[in-house]
Structure 1
Amino acid sequence: MVGDMTVLGALKNIAVETVGKTTDALRIGNGLDARELQPVGWFAHGQAVEKLRASYEAIPPGENVRLAKKTSNLFRGRNQSTTPGLDVSGLGGVIAVDPVAGTADVQGMCTYEDLVDTVLPYGYSPTVVPQLKTITLGGAVTGLGVESACFRNGLPHEALIEMDVLTGTGEVVTCSPTQNVDLFRGFPNSYGSLGYAVRLKIELEKVKDYVELRHVRFHDVHALTETMEQIIETGEYDGEAVDYLDGAVFSLEECYLMLGRQTDEPGPTSDYTRDRIYYRSIQHPEGVLRDRLSIRDYLWRWDVDWFWASRAFGTQNPTIRRMWPRDLLRSSFYWKIIGWDRKYDLADRIEAANNRPARERVVQDIEVTPEHLPEFLEWFFHSCEIEPVWLCPIRIRGTGADGNELVGEGETLGADKEHPWPLYPLTVGQTWVNVGFWSSVPVDLLGKDAPAGAFNKLVEEKVSALGGHKSLYSEAFYDRETFEQLYGGSFPAQLKEVYDPQGRFPGLYEKTVDWA
């Protein structure tokens, strides 16, 4: 019997390995590895803009204007529409790279995956590279995006030098720190309520070939928070520079800071694009665990398993993972599975078949200051079973690389040095910590009569009580008065009067809360 089991086990391994090799040989979509991409050039960009303008003119007057694109990184619904959308099919590339100045002109629908693969051969990276490959530069600017360089480089829109925006009037308006300043400062966090970015000229930063990692273990969130603040102030830990800083909390007794240092020193690197899983490599019982990645693998370390969310699709099961096509270990494919679930209610059907309640999706990124971070984490881990959560400190720059202020006085906006970006009023000089959690809870977690979205509403209330706020890429339940207090007051409406007087785009509240 033992011999038979051994033979069966060996046959199973052979079958799994054979399937794995076969699927790895497939080339599906963009895959995981770097591709050789060239800038599209100004002529092609001009043609794409003309096509965009023509598609705008084809939308009947009075109808809302939307993008005609199949992909999204938003975790909130959208009311369906039969009206044709804007044709942005030609706006997905890098227009030009200036390696001397360290800048790039980029089309609004260019994904960070394509942007990185275009500029990395020049030795450059965007100043902030959001975690998922299919996030677009235009989307990160209008909807915000964060990553482990945010503690020193601020947010993606702080790298903006100039931007062309298709507004609600049908005009393409150029804005910058000195031209159409209200639009330039009001566009970040507007989520398409003012228009869509057509071209963005951005600063790049020089990067080295590798990232040396240190995963620092903590046994309580207070010590983690204190160390995080020290690193942000000094730019180093234990005498070694820190270029990248984020964290993961598995429980109140098991939490980590992940510190990255760029280096050109040659040496072996780890690979988390096949059998091994990055977030599991972080965990260890005590002290500091070192690792090393190529710069590109570091930038996309979270995309392969969508942080840790791929476990919901079975891809962290060793047998399934060995057979799963390597090219489909990426967030864009997991998004397709989410789409199928939304269409056919797959997850709720599975729960019902097992006599379990349906699930309330809890997909949020919130920000609180370090002084309130331990309290929020303690409340969160005592309130639900979601784990782990991601931490990403943010400190907006306020000044550019040349030391000058990033933005000036606008047409109606004063020169507010503390709050240069009014629709998401982070304060210059103040550290905020993004806390990301992406999972679900039973719909009856707060009681059998709990209303829809009950736990998400509870999160909003707790965050507001701590003086924080949250990103608007997912469901939001604020009433209009609370929403305006958090996200720009009357300024979004003032901008709409200038750049979208006919209301062709849904307003910010309608877009992010009412799912318009």
Structure 2
Amino acid sequence: MAPRGWEQHRAAVDRLVASYAAVPSGAKVRLAKTTSNLFRPRARTAVAGLDVSGLNGVIAIDPAAATADVQGMCTYEDLVAETLPHGLIPLVVPQLRTITLGGAVTGLGIESTSFRNGFPHESVLELDVLTGAGNLLTVRPGDELFDAFPNSYGSLGYATRVQIGLERVPAYARLRHIRLADHDELTEVLGSVVGSGTHGGAAVDAIDGVAFAPDEIYLTLATWTGEPGPVSDYTGQAIFYRSLQQRTTDWLTLHDYLWRWDTDWFWCSRAFGAQHPVVRRLWPKRWRRSDVYHRLVGLDRRFGVLDRLDRRAGRPARERVIQDVEVPLERLAEFLTWFDRHAGMRPVWICPVVAKGTSSGGRWPLYPMEPGRIWVNLGFWGTVQVGPDAPDAPMNRAIEAKVLELGGHKSLYSEAFFDRATFDRLYNGAHLAAVKAKHDPDNRLTTLYDKAVRRR
């Protein structure tokens, strides 16, 4: 897909604004989109959908300035396809191909470069936002709406254009998989690598890891390189996360490194049999993608297939535990030890992040993570058999409580169970309400609490 240019972009924005104007006064509005990377189920509503057709591409790339103007519904897959031929990538590329720029900015994206570059919204230079009041505003770092946009999840408005900074990269990534013996060694090595940007005398451009067991933990250290090597391919029979246990070094093209997790949705494709050698050979490559698996999960939620199979087999009811949390580095071992004892889910994804903060160096208003401090994002996605209490989500609630006890944070892309007072305290509800009163005075956009907790 070639860059669309400014004329096409303006025409698409005009259609969006016209669709807003066509919604009856006072009626709720929502984007008319059919895909999502959110894991929290949402009730079906009759809310009018805004026309976002034509807002899913790249507008322009400036290779000299290393910047890109991108439409809000553009996926990272389509963005990278345009930037990589210029030797450029976004500073943070979330792991799944169909995450959109607008979604990563108004939500929270993270990846293996986040220890250097923070969150995706921290590389944004300028935003065009269609507010709940129907106004199209251009905002920049330091503006109240700009700073409140991250973690607002569309409760303040929708990004129509995102201007971001890009990073210059060579063609390949050289990987080192380092096995660690326990949570304490993990904490020590993470602190050293994040603090110095090196390990064993070699530069580290990206870092993440996988914990398979309390005594089997791997960190993958990636170094960008222009030197070609015998590159691996994890879009076929080989499975990336298993390679961490099978080899100490690896070589990938930059393109394949960015999407190394997408083919198998980390390890979650195994739930559909897609990692069985026979099934894998028969499963078309074009369907080995996170968005396909996401749709399959949606069908299971809709028809309760897994729950029915459990009941027939006499197994305890399952609770779906799909969470991303951040804990301070110094509390990492404590959380993982607790998690092993109470949840026992494996593998767990590990990714350090150091937030840059706002343009003034402060905390982002709606996700007040202390900038400059080392945090560790932990992702665990699956089910736990808990029995008849499953509908009350006891494991999810216990995880939330433990994260808060350790001074951590919880992403809202998955389900949340906080009461309103706790939610407002954690995510600065008073500030959000003040900004929303200015830019969505008639409450035409669904509130953040309704989206994240009430699933509306």
C-alpha displacement at 1:362, in angstroms? Answer: 0.3
Structure 1 SS opposite 2:245 = coil
Question: Per-residue CA shift, 1:224-265, capped at 9, x if unaligned?
Answer: 111110001110000000000111101111001110000000
2:155 corresponding residue in structure 1: 193
Aligned to 1:329: 288
Aligned to 1:267: 229
1-side partners of 2:449 and 2:309: how far apart? Answer: 34
Higher CA-based Rg: 1
Which residue is 1:72 aligned to? 36
Asked if the contact 2:319/2:390 (under 8 Å) is kept, the reply is no
- Equivalences for residues 277-296 of structure 1 within 5 A: 277-284=239-246, 289-296=248-255
Query: Aligned partners of 1:394, 1:490: CA distance in 2, in Å?
Result: 26
Note if contact 1:247-1:256 (Cα within 8 Å) is conserved in structure 2: yes
Q: Per-residue deviation at 1:103?
A: 0.3
**2:352–2:374 contact (8 Å) kept in structure 1:** yes
Q: Does 1:158 align with 2:102?
A: no
Give the equivalent residue in structure 2 for 1:134.
Answer: 98
Counterpart selection for 1:376 from 316, 335, 342: 335
Distance, in Å, in 2 between the alignment partners of 1:495 and 1:188 is 13
Q: 1:91 aligns with which of 55, 72, 75?
A: 55
Deviation at 1:172, TM superposition (A): 0.8
Which residue number in structure 2 is paired with residue 3 of structure 1?
A: none
The alignment status of 1:115 with 2:59, answered yes or no, reads: no
Residue by residue over 1:89-121, the C-alpha shift from the partner in whole angstroms, topping out at 9 and shown as x without a partner, is 110000000001000000000000000001111
**Conserved? CA contact 2:97–2:262, under 8 Å:** yes
Supply the distance in 2 between the matched residues of 1:155 and 1:469 (Cα, whole angstroms).
Answer: 14
2:135 corresponds to 1:171:
yes
Deviation at 1:385, TM superposition (A): 2.9
What's the Cα RMSD here? 1.2
Q: Tell whether the 8 Å contact from 2:369 to 2:409 is kept in structure 1 after alignment.
A: no
The CA deviation at 1:56 is: 0.8
Q: Secondary structure at the match of 2:170?
A: coil
Partner residue in 1 for 2:261: 302
Identify the range of structure 1 (448-457 vs 333-342) with the bigger mean alpha-carbon deviation.
448-457
Q: TM-score, normalised by structure 2?
A: 0.98
The whole-number CA distance in structure 2 between the counterparts of 1:63 and 1:131 is 35
Distance 2:386 2:152 in 1: 31
> How many Å apart are 1:443 and its aligned residue?
3.5
The answer to whether the Cα contact below 8 Å between 2:318 and 2:390 also exists between their aligned partners in 1 is: no
Show structure 2 runs of 5+ residues with no match.
Answer: none
Counterpart selection for 2:425 from 478, 485, 490: 485
CA distance in 1 between counterparts of 2:371 and 2:303 reads: 45
Question: For 1:74-473, what aligned pairs fall within 5 Å after superposition?
Answer: 74-178=38-142, 181-284=143-246, 289-398=248-357, 407-408=359-360, 417-419=361-363, 421-444=364-387, 448-449=388-389, 452-473=392-413
**What residue identity is the alignment partner of 1:106?**
V
CA distance in 1, matches of 2:306, 2:390: 20
The offset of 1:449, in angstroms, is: 4.8
Q: Tell me the amino acid that sits aligned with residue 31 of structure 2.
A: L
Distance 2:318 2:389 in 1: 14
* Other-structure match for 2:440: 500
Residue aligned with 2:346, SS:
coil
Report the AA paired with residue 63 of structure 1.
A
Q: Secondary structure at the match of 1:248?
A: strand
User: Aligned letter for 2:271?
Assistant: A
Instruction: For 1:270, give the aligned amino acid.
Output: S
- Following superposition, the deviation at residue 451 of structure 1 comes to 5.5
Q: Could you say what secondary structure the match of 2:322 adopts?
A: strand
CA contact 1:59–1:83 (8 Å) conserved in 2: no
CA distance in 2, matches of 1:435, 1:213: 21
Point out 4+ residue stretches in structure 1 off by more than 4 angstroms. Answer: 448-451
Deviation for aligned residue 1:454? 1.1
The 2-side partners of 1:449 and 1:231 are apart by 42
Alpha-carbon distance between aligned partners in 1 of 2:373 and 2:47, rounded to the nearest angstrom? 43
Q: Does the 8 A contact of 1:160 with 1:203 survive in 2? A: yes
Alpha-carbon offset, residue 452 of structure 1: 1.3
- Tell me how far 1:342 sits from its aligned partner: 1.7
Q: What is the CA deviation profile of residues 3-44 of structure 1, one whole-angstrom value per residue up to 9, with x for unaligned ones?
A: xxxxxxxxxxxxxxxxxxxxxxxxxxxxxxxxxx31011111
Per mean C-alpha deviation after superposition, the further-off stretch among 146-155 and 506-515 is: 506-515
Shift of 1:384: 2.0
What is the distance in 2 between the residues matched to 1:450 and 1:68? Answer: 32
TM superposition shift of 1:339: 1.7
Aligned partner letter, 1:458 = A
Unmatched 5+ residue regions in structure 1? Answer: 1-36, 399-405, 409-416
Give, in whole Å, the separation in 2 of the partners of 1:491 and 1:427: 17
Deviations 1:104-142 (A, max 9, x none): 000000000000001111110000000100000000000
Query: Residues 449 and 359 of structure 1: is their aligned pair in 2 closer, same or farther, counting only changes over 3 Å?
Result: closer
SS at match of 2:260: coil
